Amino acid sequence: MTTADAKPTADPRIIEVHNPADGRSVGTVPIETADDVAAKVRELRLYQPEWEAIGPRGRAEWLLKLQDWIFDNADHIVDVVQSETSKPRVDASIEPPFVADLIGYYAKNAAAFLADEHPSPHNPLGMVKKLTTVYRPHQVVGVITPWNFPFAMPGLDVIPALIAGAAVLLKPSEVTPLGGAELVRGWKAIGAPPVLELATGLGETGAAVVDNVDYVQFTGSTRTGKAIAKACAERLLPYSLELGGKDPALVLADADLDRAAYGIAWGGLFNSGQVCISVERVYVEAPVYDEFVAKLTKHVGELRQGQDGREYRHDVGALANANQRDIVARHIEEAVAAGARVTVGGKPGATGTFFEPTVLVDVDHSMSCIREETFGPTLPIMKVADEAEAIRMANDSVYGLSATVWTTDKERGDRVARQLEAGAVNINDSGANLFSFALPMGGWKESGVGARWGGAAGVRKYCRVQAITTPRMPTQQKELIWFPYSPPKVKFAMAVMRASGARGLRRRLGFGGSK
Protein backbone atom coordinates (compact mmCIF):
# COMPACT_ATOMS: atom_id res chain seq x y z
CA MET A 1 0.00 0.00 0.00
CA THR A 2 1.10 3.55 -0.59
CA THR A 3 2.85 5.72 1.94
CA ALA A 4 2.08 8.92 0.04
CA ASP A 5 0.13 10.58 2.85
CA ALA A 6 2.31 9.40 5.72
CA LYS A 7 4.22 12.63 6.35
CA PRO A 8 7.23 12.78 8.60
CA THR A 9 7.34 16.04 10.48
CA ALA A 10 10.29 18.36 10.94
CA ASP A 11 11.30 15.83 13.57
CA PRO A 12 12.52 12.83 11.55
CA ARG A 13 11.40 10.54 14.35
CA ILE A 14 7.71 11.44 14.02
CA ILE A 15 4.93 10.74 11.47
CA GLU A 16 2.11 13.25 11.25
CA VAL A 17 -1.27 11.71 10.39
CA HIS A 18 -3.71 13.73 8.27
CA ASN A 19 -7.42 13.53 7.52
CA PRO A 20 -7.54 12.90 3.75
CA ALA A 21 -10.74 14.89 3.17
CA ASP A 22 -9.48 18.22 4.48
CA GLY A 23 -5.77 17.74 5.15
CA ARG A 24 -5.91 18.66 8.84
CA SER A 25 -3.45 17.04 11.23
CA VAL A 26 -5.14 14.50 13.51
CA GLY A 27 -2.23 12.95 15.36
CA THR A 28 1.36 11.80 15.41
CA VAL A 29 3.18 8.52 15.99
CA PRO A 30 6.88 7.78 16.43
CA ILE A 31 9.05 6.27 13.72
CA GLU A 32 10.53 3.28 15.51
CA THR A 33 13.92 1.92 14.49
CA ALA A 34 15.03 -1.64 13.94
CA ASP A 35 16.62 -1.57 17.39
CA ASP A 36 13.32 -0.42 18.91
CA VAL A 37 11.50 -3.30 17.23
CA ALA A 38 14.09 -5.86 18.33
CA ALA A 39 13.82 -4.65 21.92
CA LYS A 40 10.02 -4.95 21.86
CA VAL A 41 10.22 -8.50 20.52
CA ARG A 42 12.69 -9.46 23.25
CA GLU A 43 10.30 -8.07 25.85
CA LEU A 44 7.36 -9.98 24.35
CA ARG A 45 9.36 -13.20 24.49
CA LEU A 46 9.79 -12.78 28.23
CA TYR A 47 6.04 -12.74 28.91
CA GLN A 48 4.79 -15.16 26.23
CA PRO A 49 5.46 -18.43 28.14
CA GLU A 50 3.24 -17.35 31.02
CA TRP A 51 0.54 -16.26 28.55
CA GLU A 52 0.67 -19.68 26.90
CA ALA A 53 0.60 -21.43 30.25
CA ILE A 54 -2.74 -19.96 31.37
CA GLY A 55 -4.42 -21.90 28.56
CA PRO A 56 -7.14 -20.94 26.11
CA ARG A 57 -9.79 -20.44 28.79
CA GLY A 58 -7.56 -18.11 30.76
CA ARG A 59 -6.71 -16.18 27.60
CA ALA A 60 -10.39 -16.01 26.65
CA GLU A 61 -11.15 -14.24 29.93
CA TRP A 62 -8.75 -11.43 29.02
CA LEU A 63 -10.08 -11.18 25.50
CA LEU A 64 -13.65 -10.89 26.77
CA LYS A 65 -12.50 -8.01 28.97
CA LEU A 66 -11.11 -6.42 25.83
CA GLN A 67 -14.46 -7.01 24.14
CA ASP A 68 -16.17 -5.11 26.98
CA TRP A 69 -13.67 -2.27 26.60
CA ILE A 70 -14.34 -2.07 22.86
CA PHE A 71 -18.09 -1.75 23.37
CA ASP A 72 -17.58 0.81 26.15
CA ASN A 73 -15.28 2.90 23.97
CA ALA A 74 -16.88 2.31 20.56
CA ASP A 75 -17.83 5.94 19.91
CA HIS A 76 -14.30 7.13 20.60
CA ILE A 77 -12.79 4.40 18.41
CA VAL A 78 -15.11 5.39 15.56
CA ASP A 79 -14.08 9.03 16.00
CA VAL A 80 -10.42 8.04 15.69
CA VAL A 81 -11.06 5.89 12.60
CA GLN A 82 -12.98 8.72 10.94
CA SER A 83 -10.28 11.23 11.79
CA GLU A 84 -7.59 9.38 9.85
CA THR A 85 -9.74 7.99 7.01
CA SER A 86 -12.69 10.39 6.55
CA LYS A 87 -15.01 7.38 6.22
CA PRO A 88 -18.74 7.87 6.49
CA ARG A 89 -19.90 7.32 10.06
CA VAL A 90 -21.65 4.07 9.11
CA ASP A 91 -18.52 2.57 7.54
CA ALA A 92 -16.38 3.48 10.54
CA SER A 93 -19.02 2.29 13.02
CA ILE A 94 -18.81 -1.26 11.69
CA GLU A 95 -15.22 -1.71 12.82
CA PRO A 96 -15.53 -1.98 16.65
CA PRO A 97 -18.44 -4.47 16.75
CA PHE A 98 -16.82 -6.51 13.98
CA VAL A 99 -13.71 -7.03 16.13
CA ALA A 100 -15.85 -7.63 19.23
CA ASP A 101 -17.82 -10.30 17.38
CA LEU A 102 -14.61 -12.10 16.42
CA ILE A 103 -13.48 -12.00 20.06
CA GLY A 104 -16.72 -13.66 21.12
CA TYR A 105 -16.34 -16.38 18.51
CA TYR A 106 -12.80 -17.34 19.46
CA ALA A 107 -13.32 -16.91 23.19
CA LYS A 108 -16.19 -19.40 22.98
CA ASN A 109 -14.42 -21.94 20.78
CA ALA A 110 -10.70 -21.63 21.55
CA ALA A 111 -10.57 -24.41 24.13
CA ALA A 112 -12.05 -26.89 21.65
CA PHE A 113 -10.03 -25.60 18.71
CA LEU A 114 -6.74 -25.91 20.61
CA ALA A 115 -7.42 -29.10 22.53
CA ASP A 116 -5.03 -32.03 22.13
CA GLU A 117 -6.19 -34.49 19.48
CA HIS A 118 -5.75 -38.25 19.53
CA PRO A 119 -5.96 -39.59 15.99
CA SER A 120 -6.51 -43.28 15.36
CA PRO A 121 -3.49 -45.29 14.19
CA HIS A 122 -3.39 -45.99 10.48
CA ASN A 123 -3.00 -49.77 11.00
CA PRO A 124 -3.24 -52.35 13.82
CA LEU A 125 0.49 -52.14 14.55
CA GLY A 126 -0.01 -48.58 15.70
CA MET A 127 -2.41 -49.63 18.44
CA VAL A 128 0.51 -50.09 20.81
CA LYS A 129 0.94 -46.30 20.90
CA LYS A 130 -1.28 -43.47 22.04
CA LEU A 131 -1.03 -40.76 19.39
CA THR A 132 -1.35 -37.11 20.38
CA THR A 133 -1.34 -33.91 18.33
CA VAL A 134 -0.50 -30.79 20.35
CA TYR A 135 -0.95 -27.18 19.20
CA ARG A 136 1.83 -24.98 20.57
CA PRO A 137 1.87 -21.28 19.62
CA HIS A 138 4.63 -19.50 17.79
CA GLN A 139 6.21 -17.34 20.45
CA VAL A 140 5.93 -13.91 18.79
CA VAL A 141 3.65 -13.17 15.84
CA GLY A 142 4.13 -10.05 13.74
CA VAL A 143 0.91 -8.58 12.34
CA ILE A 144 1.34 -5.96 9.59
CA THR A 145 -1.89 -4.27 8.52
CA PRO A 146 -3.05 -1.90 5.74
CA TRP A 147 -4.71 1.50 5.90
CA ASN A 148 -8.28 0.73 4.80
CA PHE A 149 -9.66 -0.52 8.14
CA PRO A 150 -7.43 0.99 10.84
CA PHE A 151 -9.10 -0.71 13.82
CA ALA A 152 -10.74 -3.77 12.27
CA MET A 153 -7.77 -5.09 10.29
CA PRO A 154 -5.45 -5.20 13.32
CA GLY A 155 -8.17 -6.84 15.40
CA LEU A 156 -8.97 -9.51 12.84
CA ASP A 157 -5.46 -10.94 13.03
CA VAL A 158 -4.28 -9.93 16.49
CA ILE A 159 -7.22 -11.65 18.25
CA PRO A 160 -6.72 -15.21 16.92
CA ALA A 161 -2.95 -14.95 17.44
CA LEU A 162 -3.46 -13.94 21.08
CA ILE A 163 -6.03 -16.65 21.76
CA ALA A 164 -3.58 -19.18 20.27
CA GLY A 165 -1.12 -18.23 23.02
CA ALA A 166 1.30 -16.13 21.00
CA ALA A 167 2.57 -12.70 21.91
CA VAL A 168 1.90 -10.16 19.16
CA LEU A 169 3.72 -7.17 17.73
CA LEU A 170 1.35 -5.05 15.65
CA LYS A 171 2.71 -2.80 12.91
CA PRO A 172 -0.18 -0.74 11.45
CA SER A 173 0.01 1.23 8.24
CA GLU A 174 1.89 4.50 8.53
CA VAL A 175 -1.03 6.16 6.73
CA THR A 176 -3.62 5.22 9.38
CA PRO A 177 -1.79 4.10 12.52
CA LEU A 178 -4.16 5.57 15.10
CA GLY A 179 -6.80 2.83 14.97
CA GLY A 180 -4.27 0.10 15.69
CA ALA A 181 -2.88 2.20 18.51
CA GLU A 182 -6.38 2.23 20.03
CA LEU A 183 -6.52 -1.57 20.05
CA VAL A 184 -3.21 -1.77 21.90
CA ARG A 185 -4.32 1.01 24.26
CA GLY A 186 -7.43 -0.99 25.10
CA TRP A 187 -5.36 -4.10 25.86
CA LYS A 188 -3.24 -2.14 28.29
CA ALA A 189 -6.23 -0.31 29.78
CA ILE A 190 -7.79 -3.57 30.97
CA GLY A 191 -4.53 -4.54 32.68
CA ALA A 192 -3.91 -7.54 30.43
CA PRO A 193 -0.55 -9.34 30.40
CA PRO A 194 2.07 -7.45 28.36
CA VAL A 195 1.89 -9.70 25.29
CA LEU A 196 0.60 -7.14 22.78
CA GLU A 197 2.75 -4.26 21.60
CA LEU A 198 2.71 -1.60 18.90
CA ALA A 199 5.45 -0.71 16.42
CA THR A 200 4.85 2.39 14.29
CA GLY A 201 6.91 3.73 11.43
CA LEU A 202 7.62 3.40 7.73
CA GLY A 203 8.77 0.46 5.61
CA GLU A 204 11.97 0.00 7.60
CA THR A 205 9.94 -0.61 10.73
CA GLY A 206 7.86 -3.26 8.98
CA ALA A 207 11.02 -4.93 7.68
CA ALA A 208 12.38 -5.05 11.21
CA VAL A 209 9.21 -6.81 12.37
CA VAL A 210 9.73 -9.49 9.73
CA ASP A 211 13.37 -9.81 10.79
CA ASN A 212 12.58 -10.45 14.46
CA VAL A 213 9.30 -12.33 14.89
CA ASP A 214 8.51 -16.04 14.52
CA TYR A 215 5.47 -15.78 12.23
CA VAL A 216 4.27 -13.01 9.91
CA GLN A 217 0.66 -12.16 9.08
CA PHE A 218 0.55 -9.48 6.38
CA THR A 219 -2.36 -7.82 4.62
CA GLY A 220 -1.63 -5.39 1.80
CA SER A 221 -0.38 -5.12 -1.74
CA THR A 222 0.84 -8.08 -3.76
CA ARG A 223 4.13 -6.31 -4.44
CA THR A 224 4.89 -5.86 -0.74
CA GLY A 225 3.61 -9.35 0.02
CA LYS A 226 6.10 -10.88 -2.38
CA ALA A 227 8.94 -8.96 -0.71
CA ILE A 228 7.83 -10.22 2.70
CA ALA A 229 7.60 -13.78 1.40
CA LYS A 230 11.21 -13.58 0.19
CA ALA A 231 12.38 -12.21 3.53
CA CYS A 232 10.51 -14.95 5.39
CA ALA A 233 11.99 -17.61 3.11
CA GLU A 234 15.50 -16.42 4.04
CA ARG A 235 14.67 -17.15 7.70
CA LEU A 236 12.51 -20.24 7.00
CA LEU A 237 9.75 -18.28 8.68
CA PRO A 238 6.09 -19.28 8.28
CA TYR A 239 3.76 -16.58 6.99
CA SER A 240 0.26 -15.84 5.77
CA LEU A 241 -0.45 -13.17 3.14
CA GLU A 242 -3.76 -11.60 2.18
CA LEU A 243 -2.97 -9.54 -0.90
CA GLY A 244 -4.58 -7.73 -3.80
CA GLY A 245 -7.86 -8.51 -5.48
CA LYS A 246 -9.85 -7.76 -8.61
CA ASP A 247 -13.09 -9.40 -7.64
CA PRO A 248 -15.62 -10.16 -10.40
CA ALA A 249 -19.40 -10.08 -10.18
CA LEU A 250 -21.33 -12.29 -12.61
CA VAL A 251 -24.89 -11.13 -13.31
CA LEU A 252 -26.75 -13.95 -15.04
CA ALA A 253 -29.86 -13.45 -17.13
CA ASP A 254 -32.17 -14.90 -14.49
CA ALA A 255 -30.87 -12.65 -11.69
CA ASP A 256 -33.02 -10.38 -9.54
CA LEU A 257 -31.62 -7.25 -11.19
CA ASP A 258 -32.71 -4.86 -8.46
CA ARG A 259 -30.97 -6.89 -5.77
CA ALA A 260 -27.94 -7.33 -8.02
CA ALA A 261 -27.71 -3.57 -8.64
CA TYR A 262 -27.98 -2.73 -4.94
CA GLY A 263 -25.63 -5.53 -3.88
CA ILE A 264 -22.96 -4.79 -6.47
CA ALA A 265 -23.08 -1.06 -5.75
CA TRP A 266 -22.53 -1.72 -2.05
CA GLY A 267 -19.99 -4.46 -2.73
CA GLY A 268 -17.99 -2.18 -5.02
CA LEU A 269 -18.34 1.19 -3.30
CA PHE A 270 -18.41 0.44 0.44
CA ASN A 271 -15.50 2.28 2.05
CA SER A 272 -15.07 4.06 -1.31
CA GLY A 273 -14.10 0.75 -2.90
CA GLN A 274 -11.12 0.40 -0.56
CA VAL A 275 -11.84 -3.17 0.50
CA CYS A 276 -9.78 -6.20 -0.46
CA ILE A 277 -12.96 -8.00 -1.56
CA SER A 278 -14.54 -5.03 -3.36
CA VAL A 279 -16.39 -5.80 -6.59
CA GLU A 280 -13.98 -4.38 -9.18
CA ARG A 281 -15.40 -5.74 -12.46
CA VAL A 282 -18.88 -6.82 -13.53
CA TYR A 283 -19.88 -9.30 -16.26
CA VAL A 284 -23.52 -9.20 -17.37
CA GLU A 285 -25.27 -11.62 -19.72
CA ALA A 286 -26.41 -9.85 -22.87
CA PRO A 287 -30.22 -10.27 -22.47
CA VAL A 288 -30.25 -8.19 -19.25
CA TYR A 289 -27.22 -5.98 -19.85
CA ASP A 290 -28.99 -2.73 -20.75
CA GLU A 291 -31.54 -3.04 -17.96
CA PHE A 292 -28.89 -3.81 -15.37
CA VAL A 293 -26.65 -0.92 -16.46
CA ALA A 294 -29.60 1.46 -16.19
CA LYS A 295 -30.50 0.26 -12.70
CA LEU A 296 -26.91 0.38 -11.43
CA THR A 297 -26.29 3.80 -12.96
CA LYS A 298 -29.42 5.21 -11.34
CA HIS A 299 -28.56 3.76 -7.92
CA VAL A 300 -24.94 4.94 -7.98
CA GLY A 301 -26.06 8.39 -9.06
CA GLU A 302 -28.23 8.63 -5.94
CA LEU A 303 -25.36 8.01 -3.51
CA ARG A 304 -24.41 10.85 -1.20
CA GLN A 305 -20.70 11.65 -1.02
CA GLY A 306 -19.08 13.84 1.60
CA GLN A 307 -17.43 14.10 4.98
CA ASP A 308 -19.37 12.96 8.06
CA GLY A 309 -18.97 13.99 11.63
CA ARG A 310 -20.96 11.88 14.09
CA GLU A 311 -24.05 12.05 11.94
CA TYR A 312 -25.02 9.51 9.27
CA ARG A 313 -25.33 11.81 6.27
CA HIS A 314 -23.23 10.22 3.55
CA ASP A 315 -22.83 6.91 1.78
CA VAL A 316 -19.36 7.36 0.27
CA GLY A 317 -16.40 9.21 1.74
CA ALA A 318 -12.92 10.21 0.62
CA LEU A 319 -10.10 7.95 -0.49
CA ALA A 320 -7.37 7.26 2.03
CA ASN A 321 -4.68 9.25 0.28
CA ALA A 322 -3.87 11.26 -2.82
CA ASN A 323 -2.00 8.41 -4.44
CA GLN A 324 -5.11 6.23 -4.35
CA ARG A 325 -7.18 9.03 -5.88
CA ASP A 326 -4.65 9.33 -8.70
CA ILE A 327 -4.80 5.58 -9.44
CA VAL A 328 -8.59 5.79 -9.77
CA ALA A 329 -8.30 8.80 -12.08
CA ARG A 330 -5.70 7.07 -14.26
CA HIS A 331 -7.78 3.91 -14.67
CA ILE A 332 -10.82 5.92 -15.74
CA GLU A 333 -8.87 8.20 -18.07
CA GLU A 334 -7.13 5.26 -19.75
CA ALA A 335 -10.42 3.41 -20.17
CA VAL A 336 -12.19 6.40 -21.72
CA ALA A 337 -9.25 7.03 -24.05
CA ALA A 338 -9.54 3.40 -25.22
CA GLY A 339 -13.26 3.65 -25.94
CA ALA A 340 -15.04 3.17 -22.61
CA ARG A 341 -17.90 5.40 -21.54
CA VAL A 342 -18.78 6.87 -18.12
CA THR A 343 -22.49 6.58 -17.28
CA VAL A 344 -22.21 8.32 -13.90
CA GLY A 345 -19.39 9.95 -11.93
CA GLY A 346 -15.92 9.92 -13.39
CA LYS A 347 -14.40 13.02 -11.79
CA PRO A 348 -12.35 13.82 -8.67
CA GLY A 349 -13.99 15.88 -5.97
CA ALA A 350 -13.42 19.58 -5.55
CA THR A 351 -11.45 19.08 -2.33
CA GLY A 352 -9.29 16.50 -0.62
CA THR A 353 -9.16 12.97 -1.93
CA PHE A 354 -12.80 12.56 -2.92
CA PHE A 355 -13.58 10.81 -6.20
CA GLU A 356 -17.08 10.41 -7.56
CA PRO A 357 -18.53 6.88 -7.55
CA THR A 358 -18.19 5.83 -11.17
CA VAL A 359 -19.81 3.34 -13.54
CA LEU A 360 -17.91 2.48 -16.74
CA VAL A 361 -19.33 0.63 -19.75
CA ASP A 362 -17.89 -0.52 -23.09
CA VAL A 363 -14.79 -1.82 -21.30
CA ASP A 364 -12.63 -4.76 -22.31
CA HIS A 365 -9.85 -6.87 -20.86
CA SER A 366 -7.06 -4.78 -22.34
CA MET A 367 -7.88 -1.88 -19.99
CA SER A 368 -6.16 -1.14 -16.68
CA CYS A 369 -9.55 -0.77 -14.98
CA ILE A 370 -10.04 -4.51 -15.63
CA ARG A 371 -6.47 -5.82 -15.34
CA GLU A 372 -5.11 -3.87 -12.34
CA GLU A 373 -6.40 -3.51 -8.80
CA THR A 374 -8.11 -0.12 -8.57
CA PHE A 375 -9.06 -0.04 -4.88
CA GLY A 376 -11.44 2.84 -5.48
CA PRO A 377 -15.07 3.72 -6.26
CA THR A 378 -15.33 2.37 -9.81
CA LEU A 379 -17.57 -0.31 -11.35
CA PRO A 380 -16.51 -1.29 -14.90
CA ILE A 381 -19.18 -3.39 -16.64
CA MET A 382 -18.71 -5.76 -19.56
CA LYS A 383 -21.40 -7.49 -21.65
CA VAL A 384 -20.94 -11.25 -22.14
CA ALA A 385 -22.79 -13.65 -24.40
CA ASP A 386 -23.51 -16.34 -21.84
CA GLU A 387 -22.57 -18.01 -18.57
CA ALA A 388 -19.53 -19.73 -20.06
CA GLU A 389 -18.05 -16.44 -21.27
CA ALA A 390 -18.74 -14.83 -17.89
CA ILE A 391 -16.81 -17.59 -16.13
CA ARG A 392 -13.95 -17.42 -18.61
CA MET A 393 -13.63 -13.64 -18.25
CA ALA A 394 -13.92 -13.78 -14.46
CA ASN A 395 -11.04 -16.28 -14.33
CA ASP A 396 -8.89 -14.20 -16.68
CA SER A 397 -6.99 -12.43 -13.92
CA VAL A 398 -3.83 -12.83 -11.88
CA TYR A 399 -5.99 -12.33 -8.80
CA GLY A 400 -8.40 -14.73 -7.12
CA LEU A 401 -9.61 -13.35 -3.80
CA SER A 402 -13.41 -13.57 -4.03
CA ALA A 403 -16.32 -13.26 -6.45
CA THR A 404 -20.10 -12.88 -6.52
CA VAL A 405 -22.72 -14.66 -8.63
CA TRP A 406 -26.22 -13.27 -9.13
CA THR A 407 -28.96 -15.69 -10.16
CA THR A 408 -32.36 -16.83 -8.90
CA ASP A 409 -31.40 -20.46 -9.59
CA LYS A 410 -29.50 -21.74 -6.53
CA GLU A 411 -28.24 -24.84 -8.30
CA ARG A 412 -26.94 -22.73 -11.17
CA GLY A 413 -25.27 -20.37 -8.72
CA ASP A 414 -23.52 -23.25 -6.99
CA ARG A 415 -22.43 -24.74 -10.33
CA VAL A 416 -20.95 -21.43 -11.48
CA ALA A 417 -19.29 -20.77 -8.12
CA ARG A 418 -17.40 -24.06 -8.29
CA GLN A 419 -15.88 -23.03 -11.65
CA LEU A 420 -14.53 -19.69 -10.45
CA GLU A 421 -10.87 -19.36 -9.50
CA ALA A 422 -11.38 -17.51 -6.23
CA GLY A 423 -10.95 -18.23 -2.55
CA ALA A 424 -14.57 -17.30 -1.80
CA VAL A 425 -17.77 -16.94 -3.81
CA ASN A 426 -20.91 -15.24 -2.52
CA ILE A 427 -24.15 -16.10 -4.28
CA ASN A 428 -26.65 -13.21 -4.40
CA ASP A 429 -24.64 -11.27 -1.83
CA SER A 430 -21.51 -9.17 -1.42
CA GLY A 431 -18.94 -9.68 1.31
CA ALA A 432 -20.98 -12.29 3.20
CA ASN A 433 -17.94 -14.51 3.67
CA LEU A 434 -16.17 -11.69 5.49
CA PHE A 435 -18.69 -12.02 8.32
CA SER A 436 -18.56 -15.83 8.47
CA PHE A 437 -15.71 -16.72 10.82
CA ALA A 438 -16.29 -20.45 10.40
CA LEU A 439 -15.19 -20.08 6.75
CA PRO A 440 -11.62 -19.48 5.61
CA MET A 441 -10.83 -16.11 4.07
CA GLY A 442 -7.93 -16.48 1.70
CA GLY A 443 -6.98 -15.77 -1.88
CA TRP A 444 -5.84 -17.86 -4.80
CA LYS A 445 -3.16 -16.95 -7.35
CA GLU A 446 -1.59 -13.54 -6.59
CA SER A 447 -4.25 -12.73 -4.00
CA GLY A 448 -2.37 -14.45 -1.23
CA VAL A 449 -1.00 -17.45 0.61
CA GLY A 450 -2.89 -19.06 3.47
CA ALA A 451 -6.12 -17.81 5.00
CA ARG A 452 -7.51 -16.16 8.10
CA TRP A 453 -10.34 -17.70 10.16
CA GLY A 454 -11.93 -20.92 8.94
CA GLY A 455 -12.97 -22.13 12.37
CA ALA A 456 -10.18 -24.00 14.13
CA ALA A 457 -7.77 -23.35 11.27
CA GLY A 458 -7.88 -19.61 11.98
CA VAL A 459 -6.28 -20.03 15.39
CA ARG A 460 -4.18 -23.11 14.66
CA LYS A 461 -2.36 -21.23 11.90
CA TYR A 462 -0.51 -19.39 14.68
CA CYS A 463 0.61 -22.68 16.25
CA ARG A 464 3.36 -25.18 15.73
CA VAL A 465 2.03 -28.71 15.52
CA GLN A 466 3.72 -31.21 17.83
CA ALA A 467 3.33 -34.97 17.60
CA ILE A 468 3.69 -37.13 20.77
CA THR A 469 3.64 -40.93 20.95
CA THR A 470 3.14 -42.70 24.28
CA PRO A 471 3.31 -46.49 24.93
CA ARG A 472 -0.06 -48.03 25.74
CA MET A 473 1.44 -51.14 27.40
CA PRO A 474 4.59 -52.09 29.29
CA THR A 475 7.72 -51.79 27.13
CA GLN A 476 10.46 -54.37 26.61
CA GLN A 477 14.18 -53.76 26.82
CA LYS A 478 14.41 -53.36 23.06
CA GLU A 479 12.20 -53.52 19.98
CA LEU A 480 12.37 -56.18 17.27
CA ILE A 481 14.29 -54.01 14.81
CA TRP A 482 16.63 -52.25 17.21
CA PHE A 483 20.38 -52.94 17.08
CA PRO A 484 21.90 -55.48 16.89
CA TYR A 485 19.71 -56.81 14.06
CA SER A 486 18.48 -60.39 14.45
CA PRO A 487 17.50 -61.91 11.05
CA PRO A 488 14.63 -64.03 12.45
CA LYS A 489 13.18 -61.09 14.37
CA VAL A 490 13.57 -58.73 11.40
CA LYS A 491 11.83 -61.21 9.08
CA PHE A 492 9.00 -61.60 11.56
CA ALA A 493 8.62 -57.82 11.89
CA MET A 494 8.59 -57.33 8.13
CA ALA A 495 6.04 -60.09 7.67
CA VAL A 496 3.76 -58.44 10.23
CA MET A 497 4.16 -55.06 8.47
CA ARG A 498 3.34 -56.67 5.10
CA ALA A 499 0.30 -58.44 6.50
CA SER A 500 -0.91 -55.16 7.95
CA GLY A 501 -0.33 -53.00 4.88
CA ALA A 502 -0.78 -55.17 1.77
CA ARG A 503 -3.93 -56.41 -0.02
CA GLY A 504 -5.11 -59.90 -0.94
CA LEU A 505 -2.54 -62.61 -1.58
CA ARG A 506 0.30 -60.12 -1.19
CA ARG A 507 -0.36 -60.11 2.53
CA ARG A 508 0.85 -63.75 2.71
CA LEU A 509 4.07 -63.32 0.74
CA GLY A 510 7.32 -63.23 2.61
CA PHE A 511 9.58 -60.21 2.98
CA GLY A 512 10.95 -59.02 -0.37
CA GLY A 513 8.16 -60.68 -2.39
CA SER A 514 9.37 -64.33 -2.10
CA LYS A 515 7.06 -67.07 -0.78
Active site residue 242: yes
DSSP letters of 271-304?
Answer: GGG-STT-EEEEEEEGGGHHHHHHHHHHHHHT--
CA atoms within 13 A on the CB side of 238: 15
DSSP letters of 304-360?
Answer: -BS--SSS---SB---SSHHHHHHHHHHHHHHHHTT-EEEE--SB-SSTT-B--EEE
DSSP letters of 363-427?
Answer: --TTSHHHHS---SSEEEEEEESSHHHHHHHHH-SSEESEEEEE-S-HHHHHHHHTTS-SSEEEE
Residue 492 to residue 218: CA distance in whole angstroms: 53
Q: Hey, which residues does 358 pair with through a beta bridge?
A: 378
Q: What is the CB neighbour count within 10 angstroms for residue 373?
A: 24
Residue 286 to residue 388: CA distance in whole angstroms: 12
DSSP letters of 63-77?
Answer: HHHHHHHHHHTHHHH
Q: 399-400 and 444-445 as β-strands: parallel, antiparallel, unpaired?
A: antiparallel
**Degrees to nearest 5, angle at CA 223 with 459 and 443:** 40
DSSP 435: G
Q: Is the separation of the CB atoms in 297 and 344 below 8 Å?
A: yes
Q: Which of 52, 174, 276, 387 is catalytic?
A: 276
Q: Which of 84, 95, 242, 373 is catalytic?
A: 242
DSSP 268: H
Active-site residues: which are they?
A: 242, 276
